[in-house]
Structures are given as C-alpha cells and as structure tokens.
Amino acid sequence: MLRWAHILHILVVLSAVSTIMPVSAEELTADEDTASAPSPAKMQIWCAIMDAASSRLFVSDPTPTGPLSHMALWVAGSRFVTIVNSRYNLTIRNSDHACTMYRDKTHATKARDLTISLAQHHGEQIVTIGLD
C-alpha cells in the first residue's frame, strides 16, 4: 500500500510539474500574432513513465520537436512506451500522458530534473531512454 502511495505522489507531482510551463495546442490561436509564438525549433518534449512493479522511472531527455499538437504528444508518448516495453520486456499500457511539451529547453530540463529528484527521493531507479 505504501508503494502505491509513492506512485500516486509521483503522478501528482508530474501533473503539477506539467502545469509549470507546459505548452498546449489551445494556447495559440489563429487570432493571435504568430510572431510572438515560439519557433517550432525551440519547442522541447520529454517523456516519463513509471513501472511500479520494478520501482523504475523511465525518462527521456528533452528533445526538440515540431509544431504544437495533441497528436504529436500522443505519438511521442506511444513511441516512448513502445520503446520501453520492447527494451525491458514490460507491458506498460497507458501512454496518454507520458510526454509533455515545453516552450524551451530550460523549462523542460527543470521539470524533468524535478521529476527525477522526486523519484530518487522515493527510492525509484531512474532509467534514461532516448526518443530518437
């Protein structure tokens, strides 16, 4: 039961971290000046997913990504979970919120580092997986 409390705590923190400065498709509309929009080359995406059975947190490094869309997040999350499952012979299924997108590498790195430090604090093993 205590293990589930730790997992729940990490998931809550991940949700809180994603509200620090995530970018969602709704933030930019056609009515806004696109000159103020961040360039797609600066957008960063990183993914994290927890395997509760082995007490491991699988994370990726922030990676530059293309334009804003929920589909891009879904595809990256699905790909990330597929890579983790195939490399470690796991059956992690929920990839809906595995990845988050940030405006720049600084915010993405801070959120990722916070997630990693909280997982380490709870005794989880950190495994870095590439998105490429």
> Each residue of 15-71: pLDDT tens digit?
555 555 445 444 444 444 444 555 555 799 999 999 989 999 999 999 988 877 888
Q: Residue 26 domain-assigned?
A: no
- What are the tokens at 97? 């919120």
Q: Residue 29 domain-assigned?
A: no
Residues facing residue 49 across a β-bridge: 58
Domain extent for 50? 2-21+41-128
What is the pLDDT, as a whole number, of residue 21? Answer: 47
Q: Residue 69 domain-assigned?
A: yes
Distance, in Å, from the CA atom of 104 to the CA atom of 40, rounded to the nearest integer, reads: 10
pLDDT, averaged across the chain: 78
Q: Residue 61 domain-assigned?
A: yes
At 132, the pLDDT band (50, 70, 90 cuts) reads low
Structural domain count of the chain: 1
Q: Residue 36 domain-assigned?
A: no
Q: Residue 75 domain-assigned?
A: yes
Which long-range contacts (C-beta less than 8 Å, at least 24 apart) are formed by 80-88?
Answer: 80/47, 80/49, 80/129, 80/131, 81/49, 83/129, 83/130, 84/49, 84/51, 84/58, 84/129, 87/129, 88/51, 88/58, 88/127
What is the pLDDT, as a whole number, of residue 7? Answer: 62
Q: Residue 35 domain-assigned?
A: no
Distance, in Å, from the CA atom of 115 to the CA atom of 102, rounded to the nearest integer, reads: 15
